[in-house]
Amino acid sequence: MTARPLLRRRSVAALACAAALGCLGVAPATAAGDSDGGMWYFTKTGMDAIHERTTGKGVHVAIIDTAIAPDSGDLRGADLTVHEPSFCAEERGGDRLPAAQDTPAAAHGTGMSALVVGTGKGLDGEPGTLGIAPDATVTFYSALVGPEGTEKGVCEPFEGRTNNELDLAILQAVEDGADIISISLNSTGGWGEEGIAPALASGAIIVAAVTSDEKSPALGYPAQFNGVVAVDSIGPDGKVWGGAPSGTGVVAPGEDIHQLDDDLAGYSERSGSSNATAYTAGALALVKSAYPDATTNQLLQALVRNTNGEEHEIYRDDFYGFGTVNVRQMLEQDPAKYPDESPFLDHDELSVPTYEQVMALTTPSAEPTPSATPAATAGATAEPSAAPSAAPPAAEDADDGSAAPLAWAGLGGVALAAVATALILVARRRGAAADAPTAAVTDGGTDDPHRPHETGGG
- pLDDT tens digits, 326-339: 999 999 999 999 99
Planar angle of CA 142, 51, 139, nearest 5 degrees: 15
Answer yes or no: is pLDDT of 375 > 80: no
Answer yes or no: is pLDDT of 195 > 80: yes
Residue 442 falls within a domain, yes or no? no
pLDDT, tens digit (0-9, with 9 covering 90-100), for 315-325: 999 899 999 99
User: Between residues 362 and 430, which one has the greater pLDDT?
Assistant: 362
- b/e sequence 50-74, b meaning 16+ C-beta within 10 Å: bbeebbbbebbbbbbbbbbbbebbb
Query: What integer is the mean pLDDT of 353-366?
Result: 84
Q: What is the pLDDT of residue 246?
A: 87
Residue 452 falls within a domain, yes or no? no
Residue ranges of the alpha helices (H) in 219-295?
Answer: 273-290
The residue annotated as part of the active site, out of 187, 273, 274, 289, is 274
Answer yes or no: is pLDDT of 398 > 50: no
Answer yes or no: is pLDDT of 405 > 90: no
The residue annotated as part of the active site, out of 65, 79, 167, 179, is 65
Query: What integer is the mean pLDDT of 188-216?
Result: 92
CATH code of the domain containing 70: 3.40.50.200
* Total of domains in the chain: 1
Q: State how far the Cα of 264 lies from the Cα of 56, in Å rounded to an integer.
A: 26
Residue 27 falls within a domain, yes or no? yes
Number of residues in the chain: 458
pLDDT, tens digit (0-9, with 9 covering 90-100), for 249-285: 999 999 999 999 999 999 999 999 999 999 999 999 9
pLDDT, tens digit (0-9, with 9 covering 90-100), for 289-301: 999 999 999 999 9
Query: What integer is the mean pLDDT of 220-239?
Result: 96
Q: In whole angstroms, what separates CA 102 from the centre of its chain?
A: 23
Q: What is the pLDDT of residue 280?
A: 98
User: Between residues 367 and 235, which one has the greater pLDDT?
Assistant: 235
For residue 188, which of 153, 166, 220, 212 has the smallest C-alpha distance? 220
Residue 4 falls within a domain, yes or no? no
Residue 440 falls within a domain, yes or no? no
Q: What is the pLDDT of residue 458?
A: 58
Q: What is the pLDDT of residue 161?
A: 81
Answer yes or no: is pLDDT of 352 > 80: yes
Residue 374 falls within a domain, yes or no? yes
Query: What integer is the mean pLDDT of 368-382?
Result: 41
Answer yes or no: is pLDDT of 407 > 70: no
The residue annotated as part of the active site, out of 51, 60, 83, 108, is 108
The three-state secondary structure class of 252 is strand
Task: Identify whether 184 is a catalytic site residue.
Answer: no
Residue 115 falls within a domain, yes or no? yes
CB 429 within 8 A of CB 202: yes
Residue 445 falls within a domain, yes or no? no
- Host domain of residue 410: 11-433
Question: DSSP labels for 87-113?
Answer: S-BSSTTBPBPPSB-SSTTHHHHHHHH
Answer yes or no: is pLDDT of 27 > 60: no
Q: What is the pLDDT of residue 33?
A: 58
Task: Identify whether 274 is a catalytic site residue.
Answer: yes
